Amino acid sequence: MTYQPPYTITSKIIHLISQISENIGRLTVLEEIQDSLKLRKANRIRTIQGSLAIEGNTLSTEQITAILNGKPVIAPPKEVQEVRNAIKAYEQFQLWQPTDEHDLLEAHQVLMTGLIDEIGNYRHGGVGVMAGNQVVHMAPPANQVPRLMADLLKWLTQSEEHPLIKSCVFHYEFEFIHPFADGNGRMGRLWQTLILTKWNPIFANIPVESLIYQNQRAYYDALQASTDQTNSAPFIEFILQMIFDAIQSSLTTDQATVHATDQVTVQDDDYVQRLVSAMEHREYSLTELMSLLQLSHRASFQQNYLRPAIEAGLIERTIPDKPKSPKQRYRLK
């Protein structure tokens, strides 16, 4: 008999799928309007930061950006290795097939290289999920993992459910099985993104993991509720809500970016345009930048001029991993 994961389709799930599908269309149109390469890069960094932060990694988005750009970062070597692995995984993840076990094992090897000994292989021992000092879930025995994963991948191949539901069910079942010695959380989130991206490529640029990190307690509560009920509906509802919220956030950001781009193009007195036009190709202190525009209010200058210019990718910090450093300087990008 073909394995069927236990879940029910609630009215909330149906409503969220409808909302997500509608807003994905709007986001796709916005992505086509603008050249969003910088935005996609920023979202990828937010995705990596969020997924690793859930696992305890403390590196900021600016430090991750520095690593991505090949710049040195002062941080624990293990956390830097986690970031490098995640960058590599997300750069090549669209080459993998979500139903291919070989690709799944290869992805784990990429994500966990240099972090644990058992990379690219299912675990050989027992493992539990901890919440503080308390064990909240004991995963199935190691000798059952190959069969359970084969069943789950077969279900993913054959199921005719909506990809939004399939991705959530897979994510939950994967975390329940906990097939690897370590890295199960980041693998589950990566693989759900892969499943969704195969349905619609725009999901490669939506930082759902960042919102999950912001709602980390609710994420674990949804996992536990689904386990207690032997029904992954609570987890499906939670993840779909995170996806919807992430799309809404991306819509707002994209709309603002399109508007800002238009404003810079047509308005000579635009704040960002004024700042960029006044700068030469050298490094400036914050005070020097303010003097260029004859401004004296530091907070207003940072909010209205400097920060938008940095976020638009027009200006960069010379010390990106220490934004508040007294030695900080700024230059045209």
- Classify burial at 40, counting beta carbons within 10 Å of its beta carbon; exposed 0-12, middle 13-18, buried 19 or more: middle
Tokens at 271, concatenated: 């704040």
Do 251 and 311 reside in the same domain of the chain? no
List, in sequence order, every residue forming a beta bridge with 332; answer none if it has no partner: 315
Spell out the alpha helix ranges (H) of the chain: 11-33, 37-54, 61-68, 77-92, 101-112, 145-158, 163-177, 184-199, 208-214, 216-229, 233-266, 271-278, 286-292, 298-301, 307-311
Q: Which residues constitute the domain of residue 90?
A: 37-255
Do 224 and 283 reside in the same domain of the chain? no
Annotation says 15 is catalytic: no
**Binding residue per annotation — 169?**
no
| Interaxial angle between packed helices 233-266 and 37-54, expressed in degrees from 0 to 180 and rounded to the nearest 10 | 150
Do 166 and 299 reside in the same domain of the chain? no
What CATH number did the domain enclosing 195 receive?
1.10.3290.10
Do 238 and 282 reside in the same domain of the chain? no
Do 187 and 273 reside in the same domain of the chain? no
User: Of 102, 162, 171, 178, which one is the catalytic site residue?
Assistant: 178
170 occurs within a structural domain: yes
Do 280 and 248 reside in the same domain of the chain? no
Do 139 and 236 reside in the same domain of the chain? yes
**Binding residue per annotation — 290?**
no
70 occurs within a structural domain: yes
Domain boundary (255, 283, 303) is at: 255
317 occurs within a structural domain: yes
**Binding residue per annotation — 231?**
no
* Other CB atoms within 10 Å distance of the CB of residue 48: 29
Do 160 and 304 reside in the same domain of the chain? no
**Binding residue per annotation — 187?**
yes
Structurally, the chain folds into a number of domains equal to 2
Task: Give the pTM.
Answer: 0.74
6 occurs within a structural domain: no
22 occurs within a structural domain: no
248 occurs within a structural domain: yes
**Binding residue per annotation — 50?**
no
Do 174 and 63 reside in the same domain of the chain? yes
**Binding residue per annotation — 133?**
yes
Q: Tell the residue number behind the tokens 């930048």, with chain if given.
A: 289
**Binding residue per annotation — 150?**
no
Domain boundary (221, 255, 289) is at: 255
For residue 131, the SS3 value is strand
Q: What is the pLDDT along the chain (333 residues), one digit of tens a residue?
A: 478 999 999 999 999 999 999 888 887 776 655 545 666 778 889 999 999 999 999 999 999 999 988 888 999 999 999 999 999 999 999 999 999 999 999 999 999 999 999 999 999 998 877 666 776 678 899 999 999 999 999 999 999 999 999 999 999 999 999 999 999 999 999 999 999 999 999 898 888 998 899 898 899 899 999 999 999 999 999 999 999 999 888 777 655 444 444 443 333 346 787 888 888 889 999 999 988 888 877 877 888 889 888 888 889 999 988 888 889 999 998
Whole-number pLDDT of residue 261: 42
**Binding residue per annotation — 44?**
no
26 occurs within a structural domain: no
Strands 330-332 and 315-317: antiparallel
DSSP states along 247-301: HHHHHHHHHHHHHHHHHHHH-TT-HHHHHHHH--SS-B-HHHHHHHTT---HHHH
What CATH number did the domain enclosing 277 receive?
1.10.10
Phi-psi region of 301 (alpha: psi -120 to 50; beta: other; left: phi over 0): alpha
